[in-house]
Amino acid sequence: MPFLPSSAHPLPRHIAIIMDGNGRWARKRLLPRIVGHRQGVASLRRCVQACAARGVQALTVFAFSSENWRRPPDEVSGLMGLMGKSLASEVPALQEAGVRLRFIGQLNALAEGLQAALAQAEAQTASGQRMTLNVCLNYGGRWDIVQAAARLAARGETITEEALGQALSLACSPDPDLLIRTGGEQRISNFLLWQCAYSELFFSDRLWPDFDEAALDEALAAYAARERRFGKTSEQVQPQDGQAC
């Protein structure tokens, strides 16, 4: 049964996911790593559909980090090719579902043809209002903070927390309420370092290609059971006797 949000069990507005475990999924089956990445695309499709159906406003996924260039050249090439093919096959469905697609990262380092395809995909889905899907591609959290600070400095603006937050790549989305990482690893790997300062963390042992609707609902239920205090005490965030929730 899908997770059903309520006043007692809230739904995160914004979910961020580190989609880890594609290569290990393939290795366990004696398959090339790129096969695992293809299965990862199918898992992302399921996750996007499930998040939209449950009412999540924004989903941000870590598709390719700035450190991933260190991987074997054939894997990097395969990933970039898979990105181009996935755009052609997935964008029409996203457009029909009302999902707006945005790409975040150092996109100017990508091949010109891929850059053009990314821009076209963003334009095709720009009117989507049901949910925003942010795809972090050639992205790093440290880079994001540095580029935001540099942007403010170039404009001669004072660097404050509020100003820096508005200059970050995801300024148009609320900070993630929930960060999910699959694959059994328990670190955030330079992903949304500023934005996830108060995110609830959920680590799943499932490899990303095996992450399905039931696994998403498990993460949502764990999130709903937590008390988010943001520096306050439990007494301050809990409704008092006689108070409405």
Q: Is 177 a catalytic residue?
A: no
What is the arrangement of strands in the sheet containing 131-139, beginning at the earlier edge strand?
A: 99-104, 131-139, 58-65, 14-18, 178-181, 200-203
Task: Return all residues near 119 (Cβ < 8 A) that are at least 6 apart.
Answer: none
- Per the CB < 8 A criterion, the answer to whether 107 and 115 are in contact is yes
* Residues facing residue 160 across a β-bridge: none
| Active-site entry in 20, 144, 175, 177 | 20
Active-site residue, selected from the candidate residues 22, 68, 177, 241 = 68
For residue 26, how many C-alpha atoms fall within 13 Å in the half-sphere facing its CB?
A: 14
**125 within 8 A of 87, measured Cβ to Cβ:** no
Task: Give the number of other CB atoms < 10 A from CB of residue 243.
Answer: 7
Q: Tell me, yes or no, if 144 is annotated catalytic.
A: no
Give catalytic residue positions.
Answer: 20, 68
